[in-house]
Structure 1
């Protein structure tokens, strides 16, 4: 399997004194290093401009984080599993995986990034501020700029496997697995819906948490990793009936009711794993 995650909006800085980023040591270095350098340099140049927060699409209160972008080549690093935080990452527990699951995550999880393209949870990176939706002067629209490089890095990895896609639209635009031809993958997006009084509706906050729970389960479960949509469905159904989260504010718990698989709407599109919570 190949699990595709979005980055968290917030990043946790690495401890002072930690080693700086080693671009040649990052996952996909052969295909991605040149583009990573180009984006690093363009981001540093933009981040000293008076209109940097406007270009990067962040509020003025994040000026200190934008200023940090100017020193990323020398900034301390930590594993991406520790740098990325937020609802999905807390639910997945990527930073606290046991050794076997951590090795599986390094092989089977890719976090998509406007700065790095895609990294594994084990890759050491500094905290930064850059969204894939940015049109970066000197590089252009990042999703478009990254597309050929990510295809070179990921198409062969995904071929013949199941791609479990938990990304948002901006990051999905940077790479889509092939679903036809010799490099075809079983591409599955994850949709979370809430059942209330017999009616089902798409949710947002709970969706991030549930995708995180699913990610953590796929990494920690015993047995071989899924390699097809059908095997992914079977693995997801192992969570049926389990309490998987607590509502913010009310403190009420919710459980996973069921998982179902829906066929792709188009020949080149993904099928959908629908996870129902209640």
Structure 2
């Protein structure tokens, strides 16, 4: 079973001394072509700082993000799960993860990057700035990624638990052997979608998985594991995760 996360716009600087991007070392070598095309588009965008800032929807204090992109092929790398920060990734507690948890994460946790496509947790990547809705020259990220990403997800031979935002689903739907997880708040008589606590709930949900490292074959196994954790997960083609159950059980 694979757990597919969206990336975060915020990322740590730095990485391993002497390291740099090696596209051929990334997982899913079927994506080598679109990855190289994406990197070439990023390089072209970065030649004009003002235009790049507009295409990336950056504010006046974020010009350094364009410099990050200019240096993306030569800047140091770190594992993808360490690179991303923010409301979803901070609860994972990556800095304190055991070797066993890292092994499980690299096998079962994917991140969908707008620059690199699908990544496994331990894939080494540099800092960059590119989002699902960024404007790139002469084409769109949807045209670049939708077909290749969908093909990879259809061929993994495992259930994909899709925790992405809808914007990243647009860059590559997971197909029939998947369940999209929608996080809701249970107000008793009605349920409503969330934003901030949506991301935090997903982060805490995956943190629990990393701690337990369960052996899961199907959605029934996942539902049973979640119930044992005190999480309310209602399975289906679109599964429902109740935020309050995750937030309260994780206190």
Identify whether the pair has TM-score above 0.5, normalized to the shorter chain.
yes
Contact 1:190 1:211 in 2 (8 A): no
Give the corresponding residue for 1:247.
none
C-alpha contact (below 8 Å) 1:193/1:203 kept by paired residues: yes
> Where does residue 266 of structure 1 map in the other structure?
none
Aligned-pair CA distance for 1:208: 0.8
Please name the residue that 1:249 is paired with.
none
**1:164-193 CA-partner distances (Å, limit 9, x unpaired):** 1110111111222231xxxxx1x2222222
Q: TM-score with structure 1 length normalisation?
A: 0.81
Cα deviation for residue 162 of structure 1 reads 2.0
Deviation at 1:18, TM superposition (A): 3.6
Matches within 5 A, 1:32-71: 32-49=31-48, 50-71=50-71
Q: Give the 3-state SS of the residue equivalent to 2:154 in structure 1.
A: helix
3-state DSSP of counterpart to 1:178: coil
Q: Distance between the aligned counterparts of 1:18 and 1:110, measured in 2?
A: 25
Name which structure has the greater RCO, CA cutoff 8 Å, separation 6+.
2
Name segments (4+ residues, structure 1) moved above 6 Å. none
In 1, distance between residues paired with 2:122 and 2:16?
A: 19
- Superposition RMSD on alpha carbons, in Å? 2.0
- Find the aligned partners of 1:259 and 1:3 in 2 and give their Cα distance: 14
Q: Is contact 1:48-1:67 (8 Å) kept? A: no
Stretches of structure 1 lacking an aligned partner (at least 5 in a row): 180-184, 241-255, 264-269
Match of 1:208 in 2: 199
**2:109 counterpart of 1:142:** no
Aligned residue pairs total 244
Q: Distance in 2 between matches of 1:276 and 1:38?
A: 38
Residue 25 of structure 1 deviates from its aligned partner by 0.7
Aligned equivalents of 1:195, 1:162: Cα separation in 2: 26
How far apart are the structure 2 equivalents of 1:53 and 1:20?
24
Structure 2 residue 172 is the aligned partner of structure 1 residue 175: yes
CA contact (8 A) 2:45 2:137 kept: yes
Greater strand content: 1
TM-score after normalising by structure 2: 0.89
SS in 2 for 1:51: helix
Q: SS of 2:88's equivalent?
A: helix
For residue 252 of structure 1, what is the aligned residue in structure 2?
none
* Cα distance, 1:102 vs structure 2: 1.2
Structure with the higher fraction of residues in helix conformation: 2
In the alignment, structure 1 residue 192 sits paired with structure 2 residue 183: yes
Deviation, 1:88, is: 0.9
Report the Cα offset of residue 22 of structure 1.
1.0
Take 1:116 and 1:207, find their aligned partners in 2: how far apart are those partners?
Answer: 24
- Displacement after TM superposition at 1:16 (Å): 7.2
| Unaligned ranges ≥5, structure 2 | 246-251
- Counting only pairs closer than 5 Å after superposition, residues 19-30 of structure 1 correspond to structure 2 as 19-28=19-28, 30=29
What is the SS of the residue equivalent to 1:102?
helix
Contact 1:144–1:173 (Cα < 8 Å) also in 2: no
Match of 1:259 in 2: 233
